[in-house]
A and B are shown apart, each in its own frame.
Chain A
Amino acid sequence: MKGVYTWGAILVIVFASVVGDVLLARAMKQVGDVGALRRRVGLLAVIRRTLGNPNFLFGVIAMAVAFFSLLFALSWGDVSLVAPAAASLTFIGNAVAAKIFLHERVDRRRWIAASLVAAGVALLAG
């Protein structure tokens, strides 16, 4: 029964952090090239523009949800299961979500890279 809770929490972490990452990426694509913007309108205006972006706000909220569900998961399961499982599944989930929602061209090279990194993180965090 505890395993179900733990895996449920892991899925919530992965889902929330993937949603957060996609929203943050979309927000920054809407804000535009930060380097060029800073030269044109100044650093403060860039920060104001970023913080005012609704996608950015929702992305940060999703990240917070992911963080607190990580705390919940850690209270139910072992660190050696939760940390690597959540971290590596996030990489795979992000590749899928970026392809679907951000229309990024996730070619074979990026799939291989995402799986390699996910496997490596699972080994390191375990």
Chain B
Amino acid sequence: MLSHGMKQTGSISLNHLQGVIFAILNPWVAIGILLLLAFFSTYMTALSWADLTYVLPATSLGYVLLALVARFLLREHVSPLRWLGIALITGGVGFIAGGPELTEHPKAAELDDQRAVAATSSPLLSKDASSRAPNGVRS
């Protein structure tokens, strides 16, 4: 989106800073910036729920989506090497998706009172099970 809009407005030189304002007024650039903001806020939300080493590889599915959009909507040519790249990313994301999403720290339970209640009410649960307990609590 951003690159589409910026190609429409043409190159911006430092001597003509008012060009930047025209660029922001371009609807494609505006939509691009809004989408980037949306990406950033959802990324932060995901980080509040899961580990960095879980969220980051998962966001790389965006590369795969980009390649698929390029192939089927823009009808660009996707080389076999890139298909291999897509396969590797998909495999890697599938790999972490099967594992636990959050490393449980003893302190983390104290921070969130809901979780602390859940943890004390079921002391017999193993570490892995207690990490999933808050999802099961109906409040």
Contacts and interface: CB of A to CB of B under 8 A. Distances in A.
Contacts of A114: 53, 57, 92
Contacts of A33: 48-49, 112
Nearest to B41: A47
Contact of A123 (B82, B98, B99, B108): B82
A28 B55 CA distance: 12
A98 B52 CA distance: 7
Nearest to B43: A24
A110 B60 contact: no
B93 interface: yes
B51 A104 contact: yes
B85 A95 contact: no
Interface in A101-126: 102-107, 109-110, 112-117, 119-126
A121 B89 contact: yes
B121 interface: no
Contact of B96 (A22, A34, A109): A109
Given A24-B47, A109-B99, A116-B89, 6 more contacts: A25-B47, A94-B52, A104-B103, A107-B99, A120-B87, A120-B90
Q: What 7 pairs between A and B have smallest CB-CB spacing? A: A123-B85, A116-B92, A120-B88, A120-B89, A124-B85, A117-B92, A25-B52
